[in-house]
């Protein structure tokens, strides 16, 4: 009887990661993904979003038997009822979630064990833009400051190198730092 011990630093299946990379190198189209969401406005600042299926690796993904339901709302000072985080708070979550994945996966690929990884994020916004009170103030974040704390079994210069790679390859960081074309289609 043979027992196979899986190589899973940081809970990442490195063997599957290598297979994925190899498969994409053989067939570049497997890297094309389309993610989706459906959002219904409920009332005031409150909306509900469902996320379930997506297309990727050459097929429609069926792994999620139920949809994720994400609630968004504003706090009372912004005329909402705190049923969920607001949209710009969700942006901070998306960024840190993305960098968590990137750091954990890339560390695993290099055999680095991560013991702890944590982020504090802060985004500054001036509501003159959102409220239509000034054309000179952008509606979105003027800047995001991210503080990370990491504990892993690699020397500081190796960790720094890893961060550089993670920053270069993070989907959400790219989405924030560089323009994304967004098209509006009237579905009525």
Of the two residues 2 and 150, which places its CB atom closer to its own copies in the complex?
150
Q: Output the CA–CA distances (angstroms, integers) from residue 106 to 79, 124, 133, 167, 178, in the order listed.
A: 42, 30, 44, 11, 22
Cβ-based neighbour number of residue 173 at 10 Å = 19
Site for its own copies contains 85 (CB under 8 A): yes
The answer to the question of residue 130 lying near its own copies (CB under 8 A) is: yes
Q: Does residue 155 bind its own copies (CB under 8 A)?
A: no
Cβ contact 40:48 at 8 Å: yes
CB of 111 to its own copies, least distance (A): 15
Q: Which of 3, 4, 155, 181 binds its own copies (CB under 8 A)?
A: 181
- Interior CA angle at 183 toward 181 and 186, to 5°? 175
Question: Per CB under 8 A, does 77 bind its own copies?
Answer: yes
Q: Segment 21-40, which members bind its own copies (CB under 8 A)?
A: 21, 24-25, 28, 31-40
Let me know: does 119 contact 146? Beta carbons within 8 Å. Answer: yes
What is the distance between the alpha carbons of residues 44 and 115, in angstroms, rounded to a whole number?
Answer: 42
- Applying CB under 8 A, which of residues 5, 94, 161, 162 lies at the interface with its own copies? 94
Distance in Å, CB of 107 to its own copies, minimum: 10
Q: Does 172 bind its own copies (CB under 8 A)?
A: yes
Of the candidates 2, 3, 124, 136, which one interacts with its own copies according to CB under 8 A? Answer: 124
- 48 CB contacts (<8 Å, ≥6 apart)? 39, 40, 42, 69, 70, 71, 72
Give the whole-angstrom CA distance, residue 106 versus residue 170.
Answer: 11
Q: Tell me which residues in 46-65 interact with its own copies (CB under 8 A).
A: 46-47, 49, 51, 54, 56-57, 61, 63-64
- CA-based nearest residue to 11, from 164, 96, 147, 117: 117
The minimum distance between CB 2 and its own copies, in angstroms, equals 24
- 162 near its own copies (CB under 8 A): no
């Amino acid at each position: 009887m043979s027992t196979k011990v899986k190589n899973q630093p940081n809970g990442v299946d490195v063997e599957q990661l290598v297979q994925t990379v190899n498969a994409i190198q053989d067939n570049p189209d497997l890297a094309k993904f389309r993610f989706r969401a459906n959002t219904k406005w409920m009332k005031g600042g409150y909306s509900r979003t469902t996320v379930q299926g997506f297309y990727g690796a050459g097929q429609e993904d069926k792994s999620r038997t139920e949809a994720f339901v994400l609630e968004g709302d504003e706090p009372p000072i912004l005329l909402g009822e705190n049923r969920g985080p607001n949209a710009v708070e969700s942006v901070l979550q998306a960024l840190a979630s993305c960098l968590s994945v990137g750091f954990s996966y890339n560390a695993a690929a290099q055999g680095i064990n991560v013991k702890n990884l944590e982020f504090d994020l802060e985004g500054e916004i001036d509501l003159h833009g959102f409220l239509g009170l000034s054309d000179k103030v952008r509606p979105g974040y003027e800047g995001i400051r991210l503080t990370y704390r990491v504990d892993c079994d690699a020397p500081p210069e190796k960790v720094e190198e890893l961060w550089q790679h993670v920053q270069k390859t993070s989907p959400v960081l790219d989405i924030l730092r560089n323009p994304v074309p967004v098209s509006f289609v009237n579905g009525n």
